[in-house]
Amino acid sequence: MTSRVRTPVSDATNDTTRENERRQLVSDGRSLIARFNRQTRHDHLIDFLADKAVWHTIRARIDPKVLADIENGRLSVVTKGDTKDGKVYYLGSELDRLEREWGLL
């Protein structure tokens, strides 16, 4: 059995890769919100997200209470403006939280 020696260079590379993956995840989440607000077929956020692969990656990182609210089909969130489903604000807030928690700002 061979053991890997961790070096500062490999740790830095891993940190950079992780940071880039996290940045991409937040960016992809924001793109989902923008696409939902532009498209017309779905009226509810969760119906739009259901078949999106990136949603399932993001979903695993969302606070369980917020996730329950987003996925609750009986919960309606009143909005102003051109947002179809106020739950996009919940998802946006969670993406903001992850960005802060991950030190990406």
Instruction: Give the pTM.
Output: 0.79
> What are the structure tokens assigned to 68, written together?
């329950």
Count: domains in the chain: 1
In a domain, 1, yes or no: no
- Is residue 35 a contact partner of residue 88, using CB atoms and an 8 Å limit? no
Residue 41 lies in a domain: yes
Strands (E), 1-98: none
Distance CA 26, CA 42 (A): 22
More confident residue, 25 or 79: 25
Using an 8 Å Cβ cutoff, are 58 and 29 in contact? yes
Q: The domain containing residue 87 runs over which residues?
A: 9-101
Q: What confidence tens digit (pLDDT) does each residue in 49-104 have?
A: 999 999 999 999 999 999 999 998 777 776 666 667 888 889 999 999 999 999 99
Residue 97 lies in a domain: yes
3 is a domain residue: no
The answer to whether residue 16 sits within a structural domain is yes
Specify if 4 maps to a domain. no
Reported as a single tens digit per residue, the pLDDT across 32-43 is 999 998 886 888
Answer whether 18's CB lies under 8 Å from 73's CB.
Answer: no
